[in-house]
């Protein structure tokens, strides 16, 4: 990697990184094949938002959480402070590991194993992205399998029309540093772009015995494209894309008790000194686009992904579970003293190695034609997908000795978890847009046939001979219909209404559950919206209702459960809310003449009411094991989210101030009194996390057409709020952090 960086620096020199990573004239052959909705204007029959390259360049954020929060309807639970493994939900879907939304990069499923093991332990490096699309409502049924909340598509840098070479470097608090170079060009029949990216930090958390708590993430992305001549009768192109990503992280699942959090919110216990994440990801795809006849485009992709993740971490201490110690450190004083390195004792350590494979082929045909005053647009898509998760976890023993962990017994690989999960899917969709004057009607239908298979070899058969093999399988087929209607009142206003059936796969079948196999999660979703856009002022307000017939819960360690990965049904639930966002320019709005600067303002608001509407005893996992009653609020769905920004911009300078308000959030199914963390409240009794406000500042100054400098201040007020109580214990937001950097771009 270091040699590659040196080579590219030598090749392009120190050049300027433009604010617009993607040229407006970028070839449509690439854009149309990777965007999830090509029409980003005002006529999509559903609510969708697009975050442009210009916005990303103005904000200079390395944390994807701080950017997607700008979109109404998006819920985020912070975990490690850098957004490396974001927990994102849309319209009330569970946020844990972003497992219940459709995650894509350039239109291809990117979760390590989206059907057999969907938790997104790998998430693409955000610092190399040129845009974000988020789609909600009836149009999202084209982008399954998760069609209840919505789809998130990350857009990597596209191949430029002419030669461009860009670089960016930055350094900041906690030794956080970024180096990025991308270079691309288009020729008569051959085009390319290569993007090298590294983000690293020493970490802001403080180990009891000292040590690095940061990470080092590196990746290389490349696209090489052949395309026919512009004068060719048959227009087509073939694009090879590859991504290689690695991460070496000193990260842990273990947070803090409330008392320790108040004393030092960035502390890390001595027992986490060996916690470590080793991650690698490889992606290869081949995209063919062709226009065989007038008005018909066909995009076909073949893709393969391989992800390896080994998250080694403390499991139990002194024979006590971590949750027991955090719940009552006084009762478990000996184990607590071992945890903080003040006493000697045994520590159970788990290496959770998992290897994921994902591969498939997908094709999308788009045909448009006109009959009289009626415009017709047809889209037909089909995908065959296979994925696998090979779980091979190992338990070893350490002894805490005078604050240092010493290995005492090396475990046999597979003695903690030893199973293979397989998923196959054949899916297709048909969508039809019919437009007559100002009315657009968009019905659609999605089909999914899914086969899930679990092979559990047991903890005593680490060689996988099959002597103790337990198997379970599940096959299901489902039709997901939807319809959206958009009506243009005039050139600046339109209304839309939509309804669709939501669907989430049931997860891997269990070989041990006493509740039977989980059924697929389904819902009936409705939305009604209004858009206003006169260029100076843009606004959208949407009301939505998601009526779950069979909501799913999960048992994952990252969500506070036992870690079996089992899914279970929780019956009827209702999630409903209002989303509002608006953008305007204070100066333009006042029509002040002779002003050579802008003051753009944006505001987004989300109110969500998420409740169970059925009483039952929960099976565990992120909802606990207590009785859930009709009317209980669904945990981890924040009722009130407010995000706003104001900026000053002229030809050389941009300064942006962002505010993120996260309302009080239930962390247990409950209603009535809110119980937040306090000195006199046990961890197990807490049912909510208090509201908090985070302010971020970003500034850019263009020295000339080649050079620009920038700086950020995240968490300006140094808010020390508790942002999560998962996976294990209370977790902090990143403290106040400063970053300075420089961008370079070669002249056109």
pLDDT, one tens digit per residue, over 188-215 is 999 999 999 999 999 999 999 899 999 9
Q: State how far the Cα of 128 lies from the Cα of 439, in Å rounded to an integer.
A: 39
Q: Which structural domain range is residue 101 located in?
A: 2-745
The candidate with the shortest Cα–Cα distance to 577, out of 623, 636, 641, 530, is 641
Closest C-alpha to 18, from 132, 116, 160, 141: 160
Average pLDDT (106-129) is: 96
- The answer to whether 668 and 687 are in contact (CB under 8 A) is yes
Rounded-to-integer distance, Cα 722 and Cα 160, Å:
43
What values do phi and psi take at 105, rounded to 5? -125, 120
Total domains present in the chain: 1
Residue 569's pLDDT is what?
78
Closest CA to 389 of 347, 417, 360: 417
Q: Of 21-30, 59-68, 383-392, which gets the smallest average pLDDT?
A: 21-30
Cβ contact 707:684 at 8 Å: no
Query: Model confidence at 616, in pLDDT bands (50, 70, 90)?
Result: confident
The domain spanning residue 80 has which CATH number?
A: 2.40.170.20
What is the C-alpha separation between 420 and 253, in angstroms, rounded? 23
Q: How far apart are CA 619 and CA 669, in angstroms?
A: 13
- For residue 33, the surrounding DSSP H or E stretch is helix 28-34
Please, are residues 77 and 414 in contact by the beta-carbon 8 Å criterion? no
Query: Any idea what DSSP says for residue 522?
Result: E
Question: DSSP H helical segments within 296-433, as ranges?
Answer: 322-327, 333-339
Rounded distance, CA 447 to CA 383, Å?
10
d(CA 127, CA 64): 8
How long, in residues, is the chain? 748
- The residue among 572, 573, 601, 571 whose CA lies nearest residue 585 is 601
| Among the listed residues 80, 101, 81, the one whose alpha carbon sits nearest the alpha carbon of residue 91 | 101
Q: How far apart are CA 138 and CA 452, in angstroms?
A: 27
Give me the percent of the chain exceeding a pLDDT of 90.
82
- The neighbour count for residue 54, using CB atoms within 10 Å, is 15
Mean pLDDT value of segment 331-353: 97
pLDDT at 12 over 70: no
Q: What is the pLDDT of residues 292-326, one digit of tens each?
A: 999 999 999 999 999 999 999 999 999 999 999 99
Average pLDDT of the residues of the chain: 90
Residue 233 burial (10 A CB sphere; 0-12, 13-18, 19+): exposed
Tell me how crowded residue 3 is: count the other CB atoms within 10 A of its CB: 7
Label the pairing between strands 129-135 and 48-51.
antiparallel
The DSSP bridge partners found for residue 376 are 369, 434
pTM for the model stands at 0.92
Alpha helices in 315-439 (DSSP H): 322-327, 333-339
pLDDT mean over 718-738: 95
């Amino acid at each position: 990697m270091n040699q590659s960086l040196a080579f590219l620096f030598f090749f392009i020199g120190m050049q300027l990184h433009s604010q617009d990573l993607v040229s407006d004239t970028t070839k449509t052959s690439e854009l149309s094949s990777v965007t999830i909705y090509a029409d980003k204007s005002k006529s999509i029959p559903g609510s969708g938002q697009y975050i442009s390259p210009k916005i990303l360049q103005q904000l200079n954020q390395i944390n994807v959480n701080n950017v997607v929060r700008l979109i109404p309807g998006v819920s985020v639970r912070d975990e490690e402070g850098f957004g490396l493994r974001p927990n994102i939900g849309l319209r009330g879907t569970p946020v844990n590991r972003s497992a219940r939304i459709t995650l894509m990069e350039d239109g291809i499923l990117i979760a390590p194993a989206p059907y057999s093991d969907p938790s997104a332990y790998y998430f693409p490096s955000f610092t190399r992205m040129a845009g974000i699309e988020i789609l909600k409502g009836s149009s999202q049924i084209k982008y399954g399998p998760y069609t209840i909340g919505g789809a998130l598509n990350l857009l990597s840098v596209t191949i430029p029309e002419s030669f461009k070479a860009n670089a960016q470097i930055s350094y900041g608090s906690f030794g956080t540093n970024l180096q990025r170079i991308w270079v691309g060009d288009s020729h008569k029949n051959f085009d390319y772009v290569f993007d090298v990216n590294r983000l690293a930090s020493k970490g802001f958390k403080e180990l009891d015995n000292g040590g690095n708590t940061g990470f080092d993430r590196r990746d290389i992305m490349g696209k090489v494209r052949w395309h026919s001549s512009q004068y060719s009768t048959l227009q087509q192109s073939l694009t090879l894309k590859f991504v290689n990503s690695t991460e070496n992280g000193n990260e842990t699942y273990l947070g803090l008790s409330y008392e320790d959090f108040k004393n030092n919110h960035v502390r890390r216990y001595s027992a986490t000194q060996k916690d470590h994440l080793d991650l690698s990801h490889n992606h290869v795809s081949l995209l063919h686009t062709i226009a065989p006849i007038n008005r018909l485009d066909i995009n076909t992709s073949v893709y393969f992904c391989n992800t390896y993740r080994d998250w080694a971490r403390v499991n139990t201490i002194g024979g006590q579970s971590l949750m027991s110690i955090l719940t009552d450190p006084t009762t478990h004083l000996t184990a607590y003293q071992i945890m903080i390195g003040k006493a000697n004792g045994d520590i159970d350590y788990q290496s959770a190695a998992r290897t994921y494979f994902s591969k498939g082929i997908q094709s999308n045909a788009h045909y448009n034609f006109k009959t009289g005053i009626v415009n017709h647009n047809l889209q037909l898509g089909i995908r065959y997908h296979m994925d696998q998760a090979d779980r091979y976890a190992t338990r070893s023993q350490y002894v805490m000795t005078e604050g240092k962990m010493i290995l005492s017994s090396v475990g046999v690989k597979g003695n903690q978890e030893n199973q293979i999960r397989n998923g196959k899917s054949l899916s297709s969709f048909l969508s039809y847009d019919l437009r007559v004057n100002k009315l657009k009607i968009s019905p659609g239908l999605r089909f999914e046939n899914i086969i899930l298979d679990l092979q559990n070899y047991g903890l005593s058969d680490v060689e996988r001979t099959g002597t103790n093999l337990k198997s379970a399988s599940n096959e299901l087929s489902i039709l997901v219909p939807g319809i959206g209607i958009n009506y243009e009142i005039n050139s600046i206003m339109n209304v839309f209404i939509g309804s669709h059936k939501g669907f989430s796969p049931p997860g891997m079948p269990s070989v041990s559950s006493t509740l039977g196999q989980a059924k697929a999660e389904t819902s009936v979703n409705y939305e009604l919206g209004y858009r206003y856009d006169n260029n100076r002022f843009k606004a959208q307000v949407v009301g939505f209702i998601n009526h779950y017939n069979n909501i799913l819960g999960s048992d994952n360690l990252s969500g506070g459960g036992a870690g079996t990965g089992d899914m279970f049904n929780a019956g009827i639930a209702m999630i409903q809310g209002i989303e509002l966002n608006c953008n305007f320019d204070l100066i333009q709005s006042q029509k002040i003449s002779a002003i050579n600067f802008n003051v753009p303002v944006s505001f987004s608001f989300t109110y969500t009411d998420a409740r169970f509407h059925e009483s039952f005893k929960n099976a565990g996992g992120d909802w606990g094991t207590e009785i859930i009653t009709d009317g209980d609020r669904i945990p981890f769905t924040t009722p009130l989210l407010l995000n706003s920004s104001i900026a000053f911009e002229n030809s050389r300078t941009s300064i942006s101030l962002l505010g993120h308000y996260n309302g009080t959030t239930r962390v247990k199914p409950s209603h009535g009194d809110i119980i937040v963390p306090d000195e006199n409240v046990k961890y197990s009794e807490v049912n909510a996390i208090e509201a908090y406000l985070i302010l971020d500042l970003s500034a850019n100054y263009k020295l000339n057409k080649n050079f620009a400098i920038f700086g950020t201040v995240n968490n300006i007020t140094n808010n020390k709020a508790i942002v999560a109580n998962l996976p294990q214990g209370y977790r902090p937001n990143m403290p106040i952090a400063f970053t300075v950097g420089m961008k370079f771009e070669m002249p056109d």
